[in-house]
Each structure stands twice: as C-alpha cells, then as structure tokens.
C-alpha cells in the first residue's frame, strides 16, 4: 500500500471504519477528505467500541498521523469533544492530528438551517449541507479564519448582517475560543501529504458516506453535499491523481440506507426486522434505524465505475448466515424496460421492480472463519457471483465487527 483510497460503495455505513482500522496497521498517514461529523465510523478494539465522526479511524493505532483534509467541513465543538472522548479513553491525540487550514467551519446557523430544511432529505442535522452551500457561495469561514481575529470578525459580520436570529458577538466570542484551542493542529496538509508521498510514506484516504450519497453520482437530491467518491479524495486533500495506487470500495453483503430517498431492494417488514436486529442496523451518528435490503448489483456496479475501484471489501457476510435463500438485484424493471445501469431519473429507482436472481444460503455460522477457503461453499459461491456481476476482485471479507473477524483473499 502506498496511496490507497477507501470509499463506501453503497449508501454509507458499509463498515469503512472497520476496514480502515485494519488497513491502517500498514499505513503511515490516514486522511479524511470530505463530509463532516455526519459520518459515524465504528471501530471495535477488543471489547471497546469507538465511533469516530471527524477524526480518521487510524487514530486507534499508535504512532499514526491522522489528517483532516481541506474537503472536510468541521464543527469545532464536535471536533474538540471527539478529541476529549479519545483522550479520556487513553488514545493519544496530541502530536498525531493535523487539520487543514482550508477546511470549512460549521457555524451555529448552518445547524439551525439544516434542522429546518433538511427533513425532506432526512439529513443528520449536523449543518453539513448549509456549510457546503456557503463554501460554494464563497462566503464560508475556513479554519485559517478561525485563528485570524480580523478575518473572522469581517466574514462573520458579513454573513450575519441581516440576521435577527443570530448574535454576532456571541458566536464570535465562542468561535474565537475554538480557534485558540485548535490552532496548534492546523497545517498546510497538502504540503505535508505531498512531501510524505515523495518520501514513499503509505497514505490511506478515508472516505465518509458512500457513492450513492455523493453529490454528483448519488441518488440526487437524496444525497449528502460532498464528493464521497474517489475523486473527492484528490480535491479534498490536494493530492494529484497520478499519486494514487489503489481504490478500495467497501460493500456490505446486503444493502442499507438511513435517511430518505429511493431504495429499490428494501426488504418487507419481517425480513427487515430480522436483518436489522442481526446486523445491529442503527445509525452510528443519529441512532436512527437503517432500512435494509438485498444486495443491489446495479448501484454497486455504478460505484465500481465512478470510483474506478481496484477491488472491493465485503463486510457483514455473517449477517446472512441464517438466510435459506439470498437474492441479488441485477436490474430494475420500469415501464416495460429493464435497466442494467444506474439511472439518473430518481423516479425509476422509486417505482421500479427489482430483477432478482436467487441463491441458496449457507445456513452456517461464519463468525470465526479465518480464511476464504474455510467459508461454507455457498458463501464462496455468493461472493464469487458478486465479483462476477461487478467485474471486480474481492480483496477482503469481513465476518464480524472485531478486528480479527476479517481476512484478505
């Protein structure tokens, strides 16, 4: 591994945190490149569960540099709280974290607007969309402004000029304090990363959300407001495309979605309850129940294409252990036409009938399987079919939430 991007290849929560944690052992630097604390990445170390929202999942390994890139939007309060949570649990933070001076800052008004307007999309309410709106409208406040009193005053005042709802002075005072506390972590991370690449350091780019939540390639408008796909790793860090060696897509052995928006392969209630319970499918950030459904090869194929995936990591195979029959969606039927490629028209996704192929389950516990060959035959056949449909190799399989419950192929 030299420069590897890890992306979610479905609607998020694919188990990126777990896969990053495993790959981080062989990395020097782990960098988040987009999104914000809408992400919830779970890493289980022994009996300890960690949920990381902003800080890269590599932080749980000693001596790794963890970077938050310019493409991330940062809620300073959430960042400081997460650092404190880690410190309290014995994880070394100081000296291990660098934050881009160019990353945009989430302000109280972003959160209020998000809570007011985000219901239709089912956002996490963390202010992510409105913060990216300001970034694109060129009135955003960046980390560099947070530590520059004059810049902060000027920009905040301009943004709140007509506001009766938000008190400039109050926000300025609180955010200046955040600035003072965060200053020591700020750096030109593009320079840091490119120097590290020149020295042959191994870099892991940690994606948040998933391909189908990407602002360009997802189920727009039911998406998040950033580039969750591999291209976002470049613009979100300032590393050029010629430096990237590998792109790994993480997929669950089935599909989940949290928040609003179309989901063609969603289970009916009984199966939904069963898989939700077995897979503990509740949002790591908001605690909302996730919708669950069969593996959708149409969206996964789309993810392979738009990310240029070199390989996939399949997680949560164990959740399907008790299924007698397992389906894979290979197309969408809509108005007498069958779509094999991901359609941009959201109506098709919403109203289509999925085309399924059915496979025999394996009806055996896979939690303690340590190598591919030891998997039940039908589990191997299922994985091989996924690989064939997506035309991509499987590099890793995960059969439980713990570090040891995964193996490379």
Q: For binding to ligand IMO (CB under 6 A), which residues are involved?
A: 8, 12-13, 38-41, 121-124, 126, 128-129, 208-210, 213, 224-225, 258-260, 284
Stretch that binds ligand GDP, among 37-45, 265-273, 354-362, 387-395 (CB under 6 A): 37-45
Q: Does 36 engage in binding with ligand GDP (CB under 6 A)?
A: no
Catalytic residue among 21, 28, 41, 104: 41
Q: Does 400 engage in binding with ligand GDP (CB under 6 A)?
A: yes
**Footprint on residues 50-79 left by Mg ion (CB under 5 A):** none
d(CA 55, CA 177): 20
Q: Does 218 engage in binding with ligand GDP (CB under 6 A)?
A: no
* Three-state DSSP class for residue 225: coil
Residue 13 appears among annotated catalytic residues = yes
Q: What is the dihedral of CA 59, 62, 64, 66, to 10 degrees?
A: 20
CB of 133 to ligand IMO, least distance (A): 11
Task: Give alpha helix (H) positions in 230-371.
Answer: 230-235, 269-278, 297-307, 346-351
Q: Output Rg (C-alpha) for the chain, integer angstroms.
A: 21
Return the number of the residue (73 or 284) whose C-beta is nearest Mg ion.
Answer: 284
Catalytic residue among 13, 28, 75, 318: 13
* Three-state DSSP class for residue 165: coil
Stretch that binds ligand GDP, among 13-21, 101-109, 240-248, 321-329 (CB under 6 A): 13-21
CB of 91 to ligand IMO, least distance (A): 19
Among 5, 6, 11, 18, binds ligand GDP (CB under 6 A): 18
Q: Does 251 engage in binding with ligand GDP (CB under 6 A)?
A: no
d(CA 95, CA 41): 22
Return the number of the residue (96 or 124) whose C-beta is nearest ligand IMO.
Answer: 124
Please name the residues in contact with 64: beta carbons below 8 A apart, sequence gap of 6 or more.
Answer: 24, 27, 28, 29, 30, 58, 96
Q: Does 13 engage in binding with ligand GDP (CB under 6 A)?
A: yes
Return the number of the residue (205 or 332) whose C-beta is nearest Mg ion.
Answer: 205
Please name the residues in contact with 196: beta carbons below 8 A apart, sequence gap of 6 or more.
Answer: 28, 29, 203
Residue 391 appears among annotated catalytic residues = no
Q: To 10 degrees, what angle do helices 108-117 and 128-136 make?
A: 110
Please name the residues in contact with 137: beta carbons below 8 A apart, sequence gap of 6 or more.
Answer: none
Q: Under the rule (CB under 5 A), what is the footprint of Mg ion?
A: 13, 40, 284
């Amino acid at each position: 591994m030299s420069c590897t991007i890890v992306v979610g290849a479905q609607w998020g929560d694919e188990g990126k945190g777990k896969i990053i944690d495993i790959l981080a052992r062989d990395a020097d630097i782990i960098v988040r490149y987009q999104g914000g604390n809408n992400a919830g990445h779970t890493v289980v170390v022994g009996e300890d569960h960690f949920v990381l929202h902003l800080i890269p999942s590599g932080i749980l390994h000693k001596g790794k540099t963890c970077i938050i890139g310019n493409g991330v939007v940062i809620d300073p309060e959430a960042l400081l709280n997460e650092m404190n949570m880690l410190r309290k649990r014995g994880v070394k933070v100081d000296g291990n974290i660098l934050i881009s001076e160019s990353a945009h800052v989430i302000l109280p008004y972003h959160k209020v607007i998000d809570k007011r307007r985000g219901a239709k999309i089912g956002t996490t309410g963390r202010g992510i969309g409105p913060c990216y709106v300001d970034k694109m409208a060129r009135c955003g406040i960046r980390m560099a402004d947070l530590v520059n009193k004059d810049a902060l005053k000027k920009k905040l005042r301009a943004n709140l000029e007509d506001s009766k709802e938000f008190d400039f002075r109050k926000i300025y005072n609180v955010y200046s304090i955040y600035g003072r506390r965060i200053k020591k972590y700020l750096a030109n991370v593009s320079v840091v990363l490119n120097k590290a690449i020149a020295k042959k350091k191994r870099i892991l780019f940690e994606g948040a959300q998933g391909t189908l939540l990407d602002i360009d390639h997802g189920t727009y408008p039911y998406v998040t407001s950033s580039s969750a796909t591999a291209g976002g790793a470049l613009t979100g860090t300032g590393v050029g495309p010629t430096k990237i060696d590998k792109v790994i897509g993480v997929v669950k052995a089935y599909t989940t979605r949290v928040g609003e928006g179309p989901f063609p392969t969603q289970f009916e209630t009984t199966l939904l309850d069963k898989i939700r319970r077995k897979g503990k499918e509740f949002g790591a950030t908001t605690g909302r129940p996730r919708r669950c459904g069969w593996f959708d090869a149409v969206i996964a194929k789309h993810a392979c294409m738009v990310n240029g995936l070199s390989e996939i990591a399949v997680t949560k195979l164990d959740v399907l252990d008790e299924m007698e029959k397992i389906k894979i969606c290979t197309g969408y039927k809509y108005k007498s036409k069958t779509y094999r490629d991901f359609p941009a028209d959201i109506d098709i996704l919403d109203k289509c009938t999925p085309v399924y192929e059915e496979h025999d389950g394996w009806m055996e516990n896979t939690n303690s399987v340590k190598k591919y060959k030891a998997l039940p035959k039908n589990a191997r056949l299922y994985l091989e079919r996924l690989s064939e449909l997506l035309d991509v190799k499987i590099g890793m399989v995960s059969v439980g939430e713990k570090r040891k419950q995964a193996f490379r192929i």
